[in-house]
Structure 1
Amino acid sequence: MVDNKLLPKLSQNFLELLEDEEYYDTTIEVGNDPDVKIFRAHMAVLNYRSPYLRRILYTNKKKNDGTLINIKLPNFLPDVFHLILRYIYGGKLSFEEYDILDIIKILTTANELGLQELTPFIETFLIKNKKDLIEQNFDLIYRISFENNSFLELRKYCNDIISKTPNKIFNSSRFTSISEKLLVTIIQNDKLQMNEVQVWEHVIKWGLAQNPELSHDPQSYSKEEFIVLRNTLQQCIPFIRFYNFTSKEFSDNIVPYKRILPKKLYKNLLKDFLSSNYKLTEKSRPRAPRVIEEIEEKFDSKIIDLKHTELISKWIDRLEITDKTKNHYEFKLLYRNKYVGENFHNFCDNQPGTVTIVKLKDSDEILGGYNPLEWKSCEGYRSTKDSFIFSFKNGYDIENHILSRVKDEAKAIYNGNFGPSFGCGDLHVSNLYELKIRSVKSSYEKSIAEEGIDIEEYEVFKVVRA
């Protein structure tokens, strides 16, 4: 008998208990006039399910005269609390019918009530299922994630967007409505993968949007109009890295707006840019290399993103996850397969240095392997000390991974008539009669998956140093 098959009945019974009008011993008044609702509940359930409610109940100890305990929660929204209360009793909560603003209210309420298991669950749901809405409401999500130390997954996701895919913010239709504080946070980021001209253009765009009466042609500005724009952008200007501009970029983009810059700053910039002996690199503070931006534009995967490729690149260079990236690699898609019968050898043979990425069916798990050698159609083992296999248990979370390097170098790679194969069955992709993964620990240090799991899709990339 599988225990969890009985849990739905238990959940149903507890929800029936919540709705029962006879055996409750606690009333909870939630909200402020005119939106106030009173809920019936049971002290024992609340006490063991919510640390926050436990503290309140402790200060309102039940008397032995049969009177009810009455508690007030004016800071909560009644409709949101009702959802949370049903979760407290039944252990069920569905977000499909709610928009992102409602889900954020549920998240913050769950956190205040001390429901520690629910908070990361909601964060994961948002990251996996509401990416577009997070980007559209980025200012709100960012602010909430940084105001509360409990929302670490959302905070990490926001930081990744800011540093690795800032165009998702800048190109959003709501970009011009983000707060000044968020804009400053973005442009002062050392890891911002965007060239400085683009940073400047977006800052100007934001500044003009705050002052719709201003023209987009600075040549037509009066002295007063320059002052308006300067005052709007005064917190942003110090974080523009002007010495990252070329002379032409400076002339085309900065000079027309010179009157919004502090006089001393512009005077020094002009002197340096006009000096025939001056080397811009002496004062420049590059952000992420431009090559990364080019890599991002070319990258084509339906399974992984750049944070995965960055970590895999570190593994290729035998670095740890916390180490600084040594080399930047471009992942060029050679092959993508969702169907049986296709022969990956037609696309991937004779290509040295490839990474195979496998998405498991009905799971968030991602498997993969790096082959520094060429794939061949002829059967037999090939030797290398540099191959490895890996798994990401939760596709988005790269920190939850297994890295398994080869230990039996003579059997590191197996060439056959099927899909890519690492070791003596350590990671074997079968695509002849059905798309399945085989994984039995043998030639590599660790096991990375279970045996005989269906594959949803897999991709093979050629890895080239950028």
Structure 2
Amino acid sequence: MIDNKLLPKLSQNLLEILEDEEYYNITIEVGNDPYKNDETLINIKLPNILPETFQIILRYIYGGKLPLEEYDISDIIKILNHHHQMNEIQVWEHVIKWGLAQNPELPSDPTNFSKDDFNTLKNTLQQCIPYIKFRNLTSKEFLKKVKPYRKALPKGLYNDLLEYFSDNDYDQTKKSEPQIVKEIKSKNIDSKIITNQHVEIISRWIDRLKNKDKLTNSYEFKLLYHDNRDEPGVNRIKKFHEACDNKPRTIIVIKVKDRNEIFGGYNPIEWKSDKSYGITKDSFIFSFSNDSTENYVLSRVNDETKAVCNCAYLGPSFGYKDLCLSINLGGNIIIKCKKMNYEEQIIGNSDVLFLDFFEEYLIIYGEKLSLEEHGVSDIIKILVAANELSLQELIPDLESFLIENKNSWIEQNFDLLYQTSFENNSFLEL
């Protein structure tokens, strides 16, 4: 019999060979990097396996051990997904089994779960959920295996899946195909954080539509402020307020430092710096994870008296701490996410994170106002109404139209126009 001391030593020697990059005669390509041909080597291509996942598996092949405690649960899920003998429902069952094992106080039967039990499991599975390809399940598997744990899933995700599997046109032969989100018909968004697909989803949320509903309005996301991560935190907060205060209907999108996540929120009213709470029933916050528009959490305000928090030393903040940008003692901007005044927490396993950078957008209705159809007096009335309704983004277009197309009328009615401009300080061009 081989001495038990020999095997660990042999495994260690093999691992040292693995880590030695000097001598090799086989290359194994994983991921989707461009193929480089080398006729002197045996080349194996595995494009569907992530490089970091394959590195873990290689260490198991060479060393005979897989120290799972050293890896994040997300890495373990990736290994399960790349195991060709394991289908998606088996991955889901293993994830649930693991989640229950982390919380032995939970009942084994989800029908006996309390609200707190579901929240506990939800927080435990937070990092796993984005890696589950739920759309690869059959309708029967979804209803039997996933639905009982629906309260442990992000609300938006479960509603989308329920709609997906309940669709009469659902074709089982196409269940493995990824969902394609049609891009919004507008200008490409000027963003380093979100894409046009994010814009379309957020636009639906503004109109309280489901993800499959047809857009009733077209919105343009006009960049108001792009944060500079290299500046001191105090300066960044100050510049945000200078650029965005007193402007209604804005969206903030936030890039989290060292995490593949996007946070954000919609504020239909104005930002201010007066240590007050803004009141609205239409604000919401959200998160997207793992570069996917399918993995998200949408949380609407449930205490409209504390929808947004206005303070000069805070960045854009929603609720008391539901989504708050503040400065820590080290001068860095941190993100606080703790369920207080919104429906649910947009992140499960931590309530304080570090900010990378953020962007703020003004939401502009995409429909055009045909000014040629209106007389000058009507346009003046529209100007006044736009000012009273805080439609600041509309005023420059109206002013430019008058200056460029109605110059003779302006000269003939200078007194009237002067009085109107004097009474409305927003008419700067006139």
TM-score range normalised by the length of the shorter chain: 0.3 to 0.5
Which of structures 1 and 2 has the larger relative contact order (alpha carbons within 8 angstroms, sep 6+)? 2
Q: TM-score, normalised by structure 1?
A: 0.42
Q: TM-score, normalised by structure 2?
A: 0.45
**Structure index of larger Rg:** 1
